[in-house]
Chain A
Amino acid sequence: MLWRSPFSTLPLAWKAPLLAAALVIAVALVVSKVVLDRLQSDQDAALRDLTGAYMDGVSASVLPATVRGDVWEAFDALDRARGRYSGLKVNYSVVADTSDRIIAASDPFRFPVLTDLPAGVAREFPKGNGLVMEDGKGLAWASRTLAEEGVAVGRILTEIDVSDLLRVRGQVLWTLIAVNATLAFGFAVVGWYAIKRMLRPLSVVGEHIERVRAGDMQPITGPESRRVSPEFERLFRHFNAMARAVNEREALTSRIAAQERYALIGKLASAMAHEVNNPLGGLFNALDTMKRHGDDPKVREPTLDLLGRGLTHIRNIVGSTLITHRGAAPGRSLKAVDLDDLRLLVEPEAARKRITLDWINDVSGVVEVDAEAVRQATLNLLINACAASRTGGTVRLRAFLAERSLVVGVGDQGPGLPQAIEKFLLLAPDESTTLEGGLGLWVVRRLVKDAGGTITIRRRSGFATIVRIAWPIGDVESEPAGAIAAEETLHV
């Protein structure tokens, strides 16, 4: 697994200002380094120049005194040099002969005249001419050889307090830190505000997309769509075009669904007419028989029975059609007969293709599911199965109660469900998934989704497809089958 930095998951409104601050800090670090290095080299150069000037001046004035070993002249020269070199804080200066015996010092109490220079002090100073600095102590030590006609006669040793230079460096460092921290913070705040403002149109799009999830596809109009950058204007335009297309498709789908329903109703009507017509010949025969032999009780009784059964059959067919298409009371619970009625509706179609209906309905009692939704979905599946089945095949229905659900499975021996339809049925209830062709399965999916049920598709020996729907028991919605059932009720 690839490691993802926590930074990559931060919102853009944080990322950009943090990046700006980081850039400022990076630049500040580089600039500070350059400035401090430059300052240090300048200070070093200035210190060397100043020390050089001091040493030049003092050595010129103490050289004759050193040659003569003149204590007063040497001291007087050192004493007069004191304070004449502004910017150079001399702690002490010592004029010593070649054997490091002190001729004079600016601080005679510390370096008494005509005593040996303490070894610890002598060690601090460079040999010959030079300057060494120790930042930790804030001190520098300069040494200058005094020579007359090329012969060394002594040297001047000067300790310089460089703590001022170090303090200036410290002040510059803190100034840089303060200025750069302020800049970084400023850039971060400005960046955060600017990015937040710039990204505001994205949240508008986000809100509209969120409303689409709730089924409300609205184009972006109003004040938030104006005065945005060209990129977001384009995005809004595309979103609005998409919103219009989706709305148009929804309307079209509804119209097609209605047309499909008309076709279904036509089919059912013709089937019903056929069913009604079937016993009619027999019934008319029975009527004639009654006219002619109605007085004969032996003929009358069976004829009346035949008439009764024929009429009952017709009533059942008509009744079941009415129940299916007019709908009973909304949210009505389901009984076994509600499913068995469907057999009467499918039988004509089945008979036409000599399809055997393998019908096992184990439902008993009253089941707390939306009867109309179950009936409509099951009828669609059955009609689909019949349509898919070859002539002389078998269509199977299994209905039983499982734990907390009513399971209705419909199987056929057709060529199997196309991949697209199977995906359409199984995939998460994503409205954007389209279904090419018939609306029957689209209706099924919609009904199952509304009822909170689940669809599974299996293949079992002898059957190409078994579509099984589990309807949850107990939470029958108050508005059954949504708008579709209501519309159908109107159209029938």
Chain B
Amino acid sequence: MPGETARGDGVGPILFPRRAVLRGGLGAAVAVATGPARAADEVSIGVNPLFLDSDIQLLASLRDYLAQRLGRPVQLVKRRTYQEITAMLLSGQLDAAWICDCPYVQNQDRLALLATPIFRGEPHYQTYVAVGPRAEANSFDDIGGTVHAFSDPDSTSGYLVTRYLLAVKRTTPAQFFRASFFTYGHRNVVRAVASGLAESGSIDGYVYDVLAVREPGLVAPVRVVYKSEKLGFPPIVGLQSAGDQKLQQAIARAFLDMAATPSGRQLLATLNLDGFTASEPELYRGTLEKWLVVKAQS
């Protein structure tokens, strides 16, 4: 499933699988916080794109906070796709990662949950399906035949949920939409829909709500026509087989204690989160079910 090729309506250009292309080295070109060499005691934590493509300031604050909490230098590793971060984590190149819930459920047997964010009082978020300013759609069913913008093939909110809804209808994006494409960022989906490049899009509800406050002008032309049920918030995970379990626990503690320190609270305010909590795999049952349905279709 993560390697699925997203296709147009059969006439349009083929949207190539990201994984194959990015393994060719494009990933390095978009890396934000990669150092040429890693210090011996440096902690590597992978992060998916949050609001902006880079989130440089946010990531700097997070890195400083973690470095202070862990007492060791911290490197935040960012890649263009979710898939790259997942691959790096699974191959042991990262000590921990803040990944989407979809890659988590796909690799649940190998990953350990370290912490789950609390958004608006609970460890959940939703998927939104939104349309542009000129669209007349009022429900998910109305967006058939539009040009649709997805976020990332490994994103729950930016792909899996929509894909699941279509699978339930026994159809696929290629059949349901006139064309679809990936923007590799939730904010990019909002941009694509707002500018008219896409007529509809699948968006992370948490990102959408935060952008509505931070960049109301960007979100204003976009209208949400569907909200999914609540799903487990993308967690911070580590490898179950990690050699340094103390480090994993320290990382988990740093996140879980964030609300207890002034710098942590400032960081949480920037992230629009209430804090982090320990969670069980059960939290992600909804996501897992959807992924299984989609996997079964393909």
Contact = CB atoms under 8 A, between A and B. Distances in A.
Contact of B179 (A75, A108, A109, A114): A114
B195 interface: yes
A389 B192 CA distance: 131
A462 B191 CA distance: 129
B13 A113 contact: no
Contacts of A69: 8, 12-15
Interface string A251-263: 0000000000000
B147 A114 contact: yes
A85 interface: no
B198 interface: yes
Which secondary structure dominates where chain B touches chain A? loop
Contacts of B14: 69
Given A72-B181, A72-B182, A75-B192, A113 B16 contact: no
Given A68-B13, A113-B147, A108 B181 contact: no
Contacts of A146: none
A104 B181 CA distance: 12
Contacts of B12: 69, 101, 114
A109 B197 CA distance: 7
Interface string A20-42: 00000000000000000000000
A68 B179 CA distance: 15
Interface string A89-128: 0000000010001011001110011100000000000000
A79 interface: yes
A108 B8 contact: no
A76 B188 contact: yes
A108 B195 contact: yes
Contacts of A113: 147, 179, 197-198
Interface string A73-86: 00110010000000
B296 to A, nearest CB: 29
Nearest to A97: B13
Which secondary structure dominates where chain A touches chain B? mixed
A72 B192 contact: yes
B13 A72 contact: no
A97 B9 CA distance: 16
B16 A71 contact: no
A340 interface: no
Nearest to A71: B181
Contact of A72 (B21, B196, B197): B197
A363 to B, nearest CB: 122
A109 B134 contact: yes
Contact of B15 (A70, A104, A108, A109): A70
Interface string B71-94: 000000000000000000000000
Contacts of A107: 196
B106 interface: no
B47 interface: no
Contacts of B188: 72, 76
Interface of A: 68-72, 75-76, 79, 97, 101, 103-104, 107-109, 112-114
Given A69-B15, A70-B181, A114-B11, 12 more contacts: A68-B13, A69-B8, A70-B15, A71-B197, A72-B183, A79-B191, A108-B195, A108-B197, A112-B147, A113-B179, A114-B12, A114-B178
